[in-house]
Amino acid sequence: MTQVSLEDSPKQAIWISGLWIIINTIATVGIVFTNKAIFSDPALRHCQLSFASFHFLVTWLTLHALSKSPLSLFVPRRAATRQMIPLAMAMCFNIILPNMSLAYSSVMFYQLARILVTPAVALMNLLLYREALPLSAVFALVPVCVGVGLFTYSDSSESVDGAISQTSTLGVIFAFTGVFASALYTIWIASYHRKLQMSSMQLLHNQAPIASLLLLYVIPFLDVLPNHRTVPINRWFMIALSGALASLINISQFYIIAQTGPVSSTVVGHVKTCTIVALGWALLGRDINQKSVAGVFIALGGIIMYSAVMLRAKA
């Protein structure tokens, strides 16, 4: 694996950073559609906790490998297990609820609903820490909420242009509870960063195995595990692929954060959102509803404006 270092030439550094951005984008888009295919199988739809536990284990193994020689991308630090349990529980809800949403809704709705994490974090920061946003940023978040609301109404209606919607009421409920869980998890992550003085990789290295073990306690009571003989071989391949993509996302995200500025990271995030929504429409195979289109453009326009305002404020 090639690591970007200060000794690399500027041209080489740009090429390597660009390569990791491409890998991150492809892996993120790929994992959404792979997970959607997995959760579309009735035999696997009710194995959400097992699936999340598997992902957490893969994440920990990936980070453990990255911390060892010859890579040594970060120095692992230990934190008290009791101290990490609340964050690990929040991590579980942060993954499981959005995955449940993906199982019961369209890919476009799932991805667009994730945009609401930004205004939810802003609201929680205001309520919990009295951290106010610039007024222009608040105005930019209004179209985000309006756009997602418009798309939700359109995509969850009983039929769109004669086609049955893929987004159920259950999918909407899981999506919005997932937004709340993700916002809370984001705020707690920032709090733990300040309290423990750990990097993102060090923190994730501590919480991932704890989250995986916590889920093992409740899997026998909540998951409905299928007979492994009845699951097609291609589904097992998809599960393995999902784990591999999760590893690629973790590795590439490390390089993107470390080697590119906030503008690049923000643009990459918007590109991934647009790509997932566009591919979701292309693969859906039905006419595009005008309200859905309007909702997408309003929401994306709002989040891009918000990002521009916040980047300018931090400059």
Residue 13 belongs to some domain of the structure: no
Dist CA 274 CA 108 (whole Å)? 9
Residue 248 exposure: Cα atoms within 13 Å on the Cβ side: 19
pLDDT of residue 262: 58
- 193-209 pLDDT, tens digit per residue, is 889 999 888 999 999 99
Structure tokens at 222: 């909540």
Dist CA 39 CA 157 (whole Å)? 21
Nearest to 258 by CA among 73, 51, 62, 76: 73
Contact residues for 305 (Cβ-Cβ < 8 A; gap 6+): 140, 143
pLDDT of residue 5: 47
Please state, as a whole number, how many other Cβ atoms lie within 10 Å of the Cβ of residue 18.
12
Cis, peptide link before residue 70, omega less than 30° from 0: yes
Residue 7 belongs to some domain of the structure: no
- 60-75 pLDDT, tens digit per residue, is 999 999 899 888 888 9
Contact residues for 264 (Cβ-Cβ < 8 A; gap 6+): 17, 21, 256
pLDDT of residue 205: 94
pLDDT of residue 93: 97
Amino acid present at 301: G
Block means of pLDDT (10 residues each) for the chain, 315 residues, are 50 79 93 94 92 95 91 90 96 95 92 92 89 89 93 72 70 95 92 90 94 96 89 93 91 72 71 89 72 90 90 77
Residue 294 exposure: Cα atoms within 13 Å on the Cβ side: 8
Residue 10 belongs to some domain of the structure: no
pLDDT of residue 15: 83
pLDDT of residue 255: 74
Can you list the positions of beta strands (E) in the chain? 159-160, 163-164
Residue 8 belongs to some domain of the structure: no
Domain count, the chain: 1
Could you give the C-alpha distances from 220 to 70, 86, 156, 215, 225, in angstroms and in order? 39, 21, 32, 9, 9
DSSP percent split of the chain into helix, strand, coil, nearest 5 = 75, 0, 20
Contact residues for 204 (Cβ-Cβ < 8 A; gap 6+): 59, 63, 250
pLDDT of residue 3: 46
Interhelix angle 200-222/233-259, nearest 10 degrees: 160
Which residues form the domain of 79? Answer: 22-314
In contact, 160 and 289? CB cutoff 8 Å? yes
pLDDT of residue 230: 85
Residue 151 belongs to some domain of the structure: yes
Residue 6 belongs to some domain of the structure: no
Burial class (CB in 10 A: 0-12, 13-18, 19+), 199: middle
Structure tokens at 85: 């349990």
Dist CA 52 CA 45 (whole Å)? 12
Residue 226 belongs to some domain of the structure: yes
